[in-house]
């Protein structure tokens, strides 16, 4: 009998827990935004929609959400002057889709959902959040294309869509984001060419498009980005020459063009990049004499030019390259330059 009584009590306790859980879920589903006074009801409803669409019950931290009638105190929500201005739920097990209702957060300046498990496409409606300054969906599972409507976010300073499953081409409309300082689109499945319109982003400091399936040539217009410090295009399928215009980027510290299909010679203009610390041109089809101007890169700490078809017969440049790139000669493909008569080598540049 004692065992039966114990099992009965256990069953009753379990039923009570399930009932309580059901009551909580019912309360959440019936949350009344009309009881909220610190922000407009439409903004409250947008937050409720996010909770329901993005697995709020499973969030690591959902403190206050749909329980208190003060949304500005809910975890990750910040308000100013009676409006939601920041929504930060990074690393919070946010799952599911991004609801289009977020467009009702018309005063939103920061939207951070990085390192979660969001799926589905980026709503086109987000292009109406014209107060947005930072949009960060880094490391999720978002699919579909990058909405051209994001080009309407002319106050945007940071756009990070890296490490998702985004497809199709980079919208030319992103060239409208003239206040943008950081653009990260790396490690997606983007195709097509790099829009020449990105050359309009003259405030850009970091541009990362690496590890996609981009084709075509590097636009010469990128030479306009004179504030750029970090440029990464590695692991794509880019072709053509390295534009001499990249030599205008005198604030550049990192240049990664490796693992593409670039041809031609290394432009002497790259010797203008006196602040450059890292230069990786390896695993391309570059050919010919390495320009002596490379020795002007006095701050260079990391240089990789392997797996190309490059040479020099200048002993000073050889010493410089050996100090920066190790055994660079023997890692050319094929390493036939030492055996080639010197009189024939200049013909490679013609």
Per-residue model confidence as pLDDT tens digits over 126-179: 999 999 999 999 999 999 999 999 999 999 999 999 999 999 999 999 999 999
Least confident of 31-40, 75-84, 170-179: 31-40
DSSP state string for 166-189:
-BSPPPGGGGG-TT--EEE--SS-
DSSP state string for 117-181:
EE-SPPPGGGGG-TT--EEE--SS---SBPPGGGGG-TT--EEE--SS--BSPPPGGGGG-TT--
What span, in angstroms and rounded, lies between the C-alpha atoms of 74 and 208? 33
The CATH number of 2-349 is which of 3.30.420.10, 3.80.10.10, 3.40.50.720, 1.20.1580.10?
Answer: 3.80.10.10
Residues pairing with 230 in the sheet: 206, 254
Question: Are 250 and 226 in contact, with CB atoms under 8 Å apart?
Answer: yes
**CB count, 10 Å around CB of 315?**
8
Query: Has this prediction a pTM greater than 0.95?
Result: no
pLDDT over 80 (residue 30): no
Mean pLDDT of 206-235: 98
Rounded alpha-carbon distances, angstroms, from residue 346 to 14, 53, 163, 313, 319: 84, 64, 43, 10, 20
What span, in angstroms and rounded, lies between the C-alpha atoms of 245 and 262? 15
What span, in angstroms and rounded, lies between the C-alpha atoms of 11 and 13? 5
Instruction: Name which residue leads in pLDDT, 346 or 275.
Output: 275
What span, in angstroms and rounded, lies between the C-alpha atoms of 293 and 235? 26
What mean pLDDT is reported for the chain?
90
Q: Which two tokens stand for residue 108?
A: 């939103």
Domain boundaries, the chain: 2-349
Q: Which two tokens stand for residue 206?
A: 């970091």
Quick one: DSSP state of residue 41? Answer: H
In three-state secondary structure terms, 44 is helix
pLDDT of residue 31: 84
The secondary element (H helix, E strand) that includes residue 88 is: strand 83-88
pLDDT over 70 (residue 79): yes
Could you tell me the sign of the dihedral formed by the alpha carbons of 308, 314, 318, 321, in that order?
Answer: negative
């Amino acid at each position: 009998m004692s065992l039966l009584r114990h099992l009965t009590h256990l069953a009753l306790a379990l039923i009570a827990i399930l009932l309580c859980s059901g009551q909580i879920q019912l309360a959440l589903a019936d949350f009344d935004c009309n009881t909220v006074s610190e922000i407009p009801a439409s903004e409250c409803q947008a937050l409720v929609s996010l909770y329901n669409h993005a697995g709020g019950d499973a969030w690591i931290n959902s403190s206050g959400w749909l329980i208190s009638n003060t949304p500005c105190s809910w975890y990750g929500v910040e308000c100013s002057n009676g409006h939601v201005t920041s929504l930060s739920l990074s690393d919070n097990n946010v799952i599911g889709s991004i609801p289009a209702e977020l467009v009702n957060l018309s005063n939103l300046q920061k939207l951070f959902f990085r390192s979660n498990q969001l799926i589905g496409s980026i709503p086109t409606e987000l292009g109406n959040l014209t107060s947005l300054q930072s949009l960060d969906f880094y490391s999720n599972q978002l699919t579909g294309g990058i909405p051209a409507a994001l080009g309407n976010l002319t106050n945007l300073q940071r756009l990070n869509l890296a490490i998702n499953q985004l497809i199709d081409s980079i919208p030319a409309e992103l060239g409208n984001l003239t206040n943008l300082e950081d653009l990260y689109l790396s490690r997606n499945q983007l195709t097509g060419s790099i829009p020449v319109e990105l050359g309009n982003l003259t405030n850009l400091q970091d541009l990362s498009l690496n590890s996609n399936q981009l084709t075509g040539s590097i636009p010469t217009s990128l030479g306009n980005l004179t504030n750029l410090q970090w440029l990464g295009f590695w692991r794509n399928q880019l072709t053509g020459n390295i534009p001499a215009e990249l030599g205008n980027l005198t604030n550049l510290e990192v240049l990664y063009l490796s693992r593409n299909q670039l041809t031609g010679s290394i432009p002497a203009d790259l010797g203008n990049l006196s602040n450059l610390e890292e230069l990786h041109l390896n695993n391309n089809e570059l050919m010919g004499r390495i320009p002596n101007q490379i020795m002007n890169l006095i701050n260079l700490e990391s240089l990789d030019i392997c797996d190309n078809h490059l040479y020099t017969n200048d002993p000073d440049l050889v010493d410089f390259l050996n100090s920066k790139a190790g055994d660079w000669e023997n890692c050319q493909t094929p390493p036939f330059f030492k055996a080639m008569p010197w009189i024939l080598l200049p013909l490679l540049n013609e």
